[in-house]
Amino acid sequence: MNINLQLKDPQWADLALVTVKELVAECREELDECERIGRFPAETYRRMGARGLLGVITPAQWGGQGGDAPEYCFTTEAMCRYGLVSSQVQIQGMRWMNDWGTPTQKKKYLPGMVEGSLVFSESISEPGAGSSLKKLSTTAVRKGGDWIINGKKIHINLGAESHVTLVYAMTDAGLTSFLVDTDLPGLTRRHSEPLGYRFLPTADMIFEDVRVPDAALLGAPGEGMKTFLSTFNVSRLGNASELIGFATRALAEATDYAKQRDVGHHKVTDFQGIQWTLADCYSALYGASLARDHAANLVKQGQEFSMATSLAKKLAVEAAEKTTNDCFALTGGYGLYRDKPWGQLLYEVKTLRIAGGSVEILRNYIAHQILKDEKLRGLK
């Protein structure tokens, strides 16, 4: 629901929306099959790249559209609203690259990422480290002028399909990020089977003496927390947009069903209690969209945005959980089958409640800001 996004060009947004809908129709066969078996629709991704949907925030110099956070939010929401694969992971990668990449790294990776022929993944979480990176056990040790990486990463979206993965590892200097080409010796990848995010399957990634040069460093040794936060503080907006898109789709399709479903002499939507459900879900999504739009505009304006993006994701999780849950009230037994969208959409929302920063971690951050800043408490 775009209420107040400061888009660079409203006509661009109209075109992007048409493109998303056209691609969903063109790629229907691959999308349906990949959703059913939980696989990555590689051909669809390439077509999205060719039609300008992946390089939304990447400068024109590298083949991108040169957009900002509002364009990122608009397209991400549309992809999830209409059933295309989300570009979130790829765009996160481009943000890392735009902000921290050396000219050589940008030249090597960005054009392919924009086209969708070069797939990106981010290797951060481990069996013993998820919400907190304090116990990260993957290491990168200096040897003969190179870095030797050892460790195990889990839950990595597109881990098995990606051509390059951004690995967070501990070095003598502290947390450090490395761009690792996935065809290097010593890397083993194995699919895992998550309930949600079916188009972006997860994998375990095992790094055994994977050797990379200094040129693989993203940022300096020890700057890992900086590279991490600079992307995740913004990518919460992509998650918020995915959540709003998934929930809007759930509500739209449930409403269409309920409007035509007879219950005795009534339609389901004749009942006031059901109408209130619609009103409450719509209000929740409206509020979440306003918060998301405000945060995206702050990012674009170069103002402080961490609190706003955290609030945006938290509100989007709450609105999307409520909406996808309440849609079962509108659809009755019909909604509870695998060939209907609502069960899967609930899983998408549950995934995003955790992945990319869980609601609990966002609440910790928001509470910390409130306690620290009297202005936020309305005292000044």
Ligand X SMILES: Cc1cc2nc3c(=O)[nH]c(=O)nc-3n(C[C@H](O)[C@H](O)[C@H](O)COP(=O)(O)OP(=O)(O)OC[C@H]3O[C@@H](n4cnc5c(N)ncnc54)[C@H](O)[C@@H]3O)c2cc1C
Residue number, 51 or 163, with CB nearest to ligand X: 163
Per CB under 6 A, the list member of 30, 77, 122, 204 interacting with ligand X is: 122
Query: What is the Cα–Cα distance from 187 to 96, expressed in whole angstroms?
Result: 22
Give the pair of three-digit tokens for residue 311: 């609030």
Give the pair of three-digit tokens for residue 132: 């907190």
Whose CB is nearest to ligand X?
130
Query: Could you tell me how many helices (H) and strands (E) the chain has, helices first?
Result: 11, 10
DSSP state of 194: -
User: Residues 349-378 vs ligand X: string with x where CB under 6 A?
Assistant: --x--xx--x-xx--x--------------
Per CB under 6 A, the list member of 29, 32, 61, 131 interacting with ligand X is: 131
Write down the least CB distance from residue 200 to ligand X, Å: 7
User: Residues 166-205 vs ligand X: string with x where CB under 6 A?
Assistant: ----------------------------x-xx----x---
Write down the least CB distance from residue 202 to ligand X, Å: 5
Residue number, 179 or 268, with CB nearest to ligand X: 179
Pairing of strands 174-181, 120-123: unpaired
Total binding residues toward ligand X, as defined by CB under 6 A? 20
Per CB under 6 A, the list member of 5, 124, 166, 316 interacting with ligand X is: 124
Give the pair of three-digit tokens for residue 124: 């951060």
Residues with Cβ within 8 Å of 359's Cβ and at least 6 positions away in sequence, in order, are 313, 314, 317, 353
Residue span binding ligand X (CB under 6 A) among the ranges 107-115, 172-180, 259-267, 348-356? 348-356
Residue number, 4 or 131, with CB nearest to ligand X: 131
Per CB under 6 A, the list member of 86, 157, 231, 255 interacting with ligand X is: 157
Task: Give the residues across from 206 on adjacent strands.
Answer: 152, 188
DSSP state of 197: -
| Cβ–Cβ < 8 Å for 225, 175 | yes
Phi/psi of residue 342, nearest 5 degrees: -70, -35
Query: What is the Cα–Cα distance from 71 to 189, expressed in whole angstroms?
Result: 33
| Residues within the interface to ligand X (CB under 6 A) | 122-125, 130-131, 155-157, 194, 196-197, 202, 351, 354-355, 358, 360-361, 364
